[in-house]
Amino acid sequence: MPYAVYLILFFPFLGFVLNALLPLNNRVVSLVGPGSVLLAFVSAAYSFNWLHGRPDTPLGRSYDAVFTRWALAGPFHLNVGFLLDPLSSLMTLIITGVGFLILVYSTGYMRGEDGYRRFFAQMDLFILAMLILVLADNYIWLLIGWAGVGLTSYLLIGYYFLRPSAVAAARKAFVMNVIGDWGMMIAIFMMFVLFGGVDFNTVFTKVHVQPYDGLIPTVLALFLLVGAVAKSAQIPLYTWLPDAMEGPTPVSALIHAATMVTAGVYLIARSYPIYQQSPFALHVVAFIGCAGVVFAATMGLANNDIKRVLAYSTMSQIAYMFCGVGVAVYSAGMFHLLEHAFFKALLFMGAGAVMHALGDELDIQKMGGLRHKLPFVYWTFLVGVLAIIGTPLFSGFFSKEDVIGAVFGRAQSGDGWDWLVWALLVIGAGLTAIYMFRLFFLVFHGDPRDRELYDHAHGPGWSMKAPMLVLSVLAVIGGYIAFPGQYNLLDAFLSPVFARWPHNGPAIVAQPFSLASMLATLLLTLVGFLVAYAIYYRRNPAPQRVGSLAPAVYRLLYHRYYVDEIYDAAFVWTTRTFYRLTDRFFEEDTLDNIVDGFGVVTRLAGGWLRGAQTGFVRNYALGILFGAVLIVGYYVIGGR
């Protein structure tokens, strides 16, 4: 029954309403929050299974559930409609599956926090918005979900709203995401004007008629990309993501690692008929991706905040996904998205467990030697690290290999630029190994650098351990849905989506396996591991000593390339100065008086007209007579 797609949305909605409106106690909230998402997962799994049983054709594998016709304006109409196809089905499984595990984890992690119910209400709302985003069958509802996840992200980053840094971080994330929303809206306006509709089918059918590499598909794709870049924290709109770590750790795991930040990748994959019409836009996506891989990884090298290192790693991994979709091998990007959801959620859960053990300490320079105190966290974190750096036979290996192999394949037949992308991705793999093992060694190996913190460390409870265990298993075996050069189940599953609408771009096929590319990646990963091992294993070097190897570079990385400062000077300062000037010289003296003047005059008129309201029946009757005389007089005099 295809209506299960409504249930996927209904359960988180119900969870949100119950948690938000009813004064439930914390035990009920712990049941309603994860329970509603579990039911959504069951519905998503059911829908997946139903879809899988349908004929393996582009139309057979897509079902458009129209809930109701919504907005009507002349010939234009818009449905509240949900598109169930392999792409959206995969996303719903990730969102509800990983979401459920993280909410279970949250019941342990958030225990005893103020606003426990608020937390779960907002998490349910987030999952609802995210599901709307991926299930929408038109760009307006996609944008509604898009803005919804932006809102809930804002609310949850600012969860500790008494902490000024959390409020500032929330605001920053919101402003940057609104820049992205603006880009999306411009793109949607263009679709409306050009194609007369904003539902996927109309847009994708009509965009094909636009000339290949023409201006219109390129502009459309680039405006959509503004949205994707802001939401997925890619260059240049990424500075909000490290700050977003001010939110509770489950929020970082769910929103700022596993689901919301990957929405940009989903958007590009979903809009493939537009991107396929514009090789230029695809190149931009790939370049943003490969630059981001290295850029974010280097910033991760010198950071001392356990969650921010993971945030930069998230940015770097999403950049890999961008490269996958940027070379028009969309299934590779989606594959890495899937695996990343497993191992990054796991890593964040590990980081959360460490923080939990150390009384919310974030500075890795104060940690060390925790493998004795937290053996469970140690082993699961190790699985996550091995997965993310692409150790063979761990999940990250398969998906990263899929992306890098796809770029390699395209480069062989491409215009030369793809080689640059490929090279940066391979270098990025090496850097990933360095910063992840640096983090791992500094936290779990060596001697404790803060004895007091170490002594008070305590392990997590079962509600936190169980989801971590499930995710570690998935972080190992999740990748076996594809094996380089042998089979790729995900590509086969997704292929009907990418065959549905016509396009003139490069053929959307998985690229042939290349041993050379794989060996190069593995070699650099090994080198990265050895560098980290040599510097950080057992030795506890002070950051100053590591920095002194290359002082200028270290300072640049430590200050994150001064990008925040540059943005402040270029945008925040100029805007602020501009509004101060206009406020002083234009607003106060001129506008205020004009606006107030209108108000005063209108109110005066109201007071004057009220004078006619004497309360005497004779006056009222006179008013009626006056009107009647005017009207009848008009007809008598011949106003017909």
Residues engaged in binding other proteins (CB under 8 A): 68-70, 72-73, 80, 599, 602-603, 605-607, 609-610, 612-613, 615, 617, 619-621, 623-624, 626-628, 631-632, 634-636, 639-640
Whose Cβ is closer to other proteins: residue 112's or residue 607's?
607
Rounded to a whole number of angstroms, the minimum distance from the CB of residue 595 to other proteins is 12
We find the least distance from the C-beta atom of residue 620 to other proteins, in angstroms, to be 4
CA 563 to chain centre: 21
In angstroms, the CA 538 to CA 446 distance is 4
Amino acid at 505: G
Comparing CB distances to other proteins, the nearer of 519 and 636 is 636
Whole-angstrom CA distances from 106 to 40, 97, 123, 425, 461 are: 18, 14, 10, 34, 11
Q: Between residues 477 and 625, which has the closer beta carbon with respect to other proteins?
A: 625
Question: In angstroms, what is the minimal distance from the CB of 600 to other proteins?
Answer: 11
Pick the closer one to other proteins by CB: 193 or 624.
624
Q: Can you tell me the distance from the alpha carbon of 72 to that of 413, in angstroms, rounded to the nearest whole number?
A: 47
| The two structure tokens encoding residue 231 | 């939401």
Residue 379, phi-psi category: left (phi > 0), alpha (psi -120 to 50), beta (remainder): alpha
| Shorter beta-carbon distance to other proteins: residue 72 or 193 | 72
**C-beta of 459: minimal distance to other proteins in Å?**
42
Nearer to other proteins, 53 or 606 (CB): 606
Measured from the CB of residue 624, what is the shortest distance to other proteins in angstroms? 5
State the burial class of residue 601 (Cβ atoms within 10 Å of its Cβ: 0-12, 13-18, 19+): exposed
Closer of 25 and 68 to other proteins (Cβ): 68
DSSP state string for 584-618: IIIIIIIIHHHHHHHHHHHHHHHHHHHTT----HH
Q: What is the chain's Cα-based Rg?
A: 28
Q: Please, which residue, 53 or 616, has the CB nearer to other proteins?
A: 616
Give burial (CB, 10 Å; 0-12/13-18/19+) of 533. Answer: middle
Nearest approach, Cβ of 145 to other proteins (angstroms)? 15
Return d(Cα 136, Cα 88) in angstroms, integer. 9
Burial (CB count within 10 angstroms: exposed 0-12, middle 13-18, buried 19+), residue 152: buried
- What is d(CA 416, CA 604) in angstroms, rounded to the nearest whole number? 73
Helix (H) or strand (E) holding 522, with range, is: helix 515-536
C-alpha 55/C-alpha 48 separation (Å) is: 13
Answer whether 334's CB lies under 8 Å from 265's CB: yes
- Nearest CB to other proteins, comparing residues 549 and 636: 636
Closer by beta carbon to other proteins, 57 or else 619: 619
Cβ closer to other proteins: 138 or 234?
138
Query: Distance (Å, rounded) from C-alpha 506 to C-alpha 498?
Result: 12
Give 561 or 634: the residue with its C-beta nearer to other proteins: 634
Least distance (Å) from other proteins to the CB of residue 615?
Answer: 6
* Shortest CB 196 distance to other proteins, Å: 18
If the CB atoms of residues 360 and 596 are measured against other proteins, the closer one turns out to be 596
Only one residue has tokens 């050895």, namely 530
CB within 8 Å of 410: residues ≥ 6 apart: 327, 328, 329, 418, 506, 511
Which of 319, 272, 310 is CA-nearest to residue 292? Answer: 319
Find the distance separating the first CA and the last CA of the chain, reported in whole Å: 64
CA distance 401 to 558: 30
Tell the smallest beta-carbon distance from residue 117 to other proteins (Å): 16
Helices of type H across 414-510: 417-444, 451-456, 462-477, 489-498
- From residue 69, alpha-carbon distances to 13, 74, 421 in Å are 20, 13, 44
Tell the smallest beta-carbon distance from residue 611 to other proteins (Å).
Answer: 10
The minimum distance between CB 22 and other proteins, in angstroms, equals 13
Q: Tokens representing 468?
A: 């971590």
Q: Are 256 and 154 in contact (CB under 8 A)?
A: no
Q: Does residue 211 have a cis peptide bond before it, meaning omega lies within 30 degrees of 0?
A: no
- Residue among 512 and 627 whose Cβ is closer to other proteins: 627
Q: Are 495 and 331 in contact (CB under 8 A)?
A: yes
Q: Could you tell me the smallest distance in angstroms from the CB atom of residue 499 to other proteins?
A: 33
- Residue 250, H or E segment: helix 249-253
CB of 15 to other proteins, least distance (A): 20
What's the CA angle centered on 24, arms 23 and 27, to 5 degrees?
155
Question: What is the identity of the amino acid at 89?
Answer: S
Cβ at position 204, least distance to other proteins in Å? 25
CB of 610 to other proteins, least distance (A): 5
Please identify, using beta-carbon distances, which residue of 572 and 604 lies nearer to other proteins. Answer: 604
Overall residue count recorded for the chain in this entry: 640
Cα–Cα nearest to 221, from 193, 181, 186: 186
- Closest separation between CB of residue 566 and other proteins, Å? 38
Closest to other proteins by CB, 93 or 129: 129
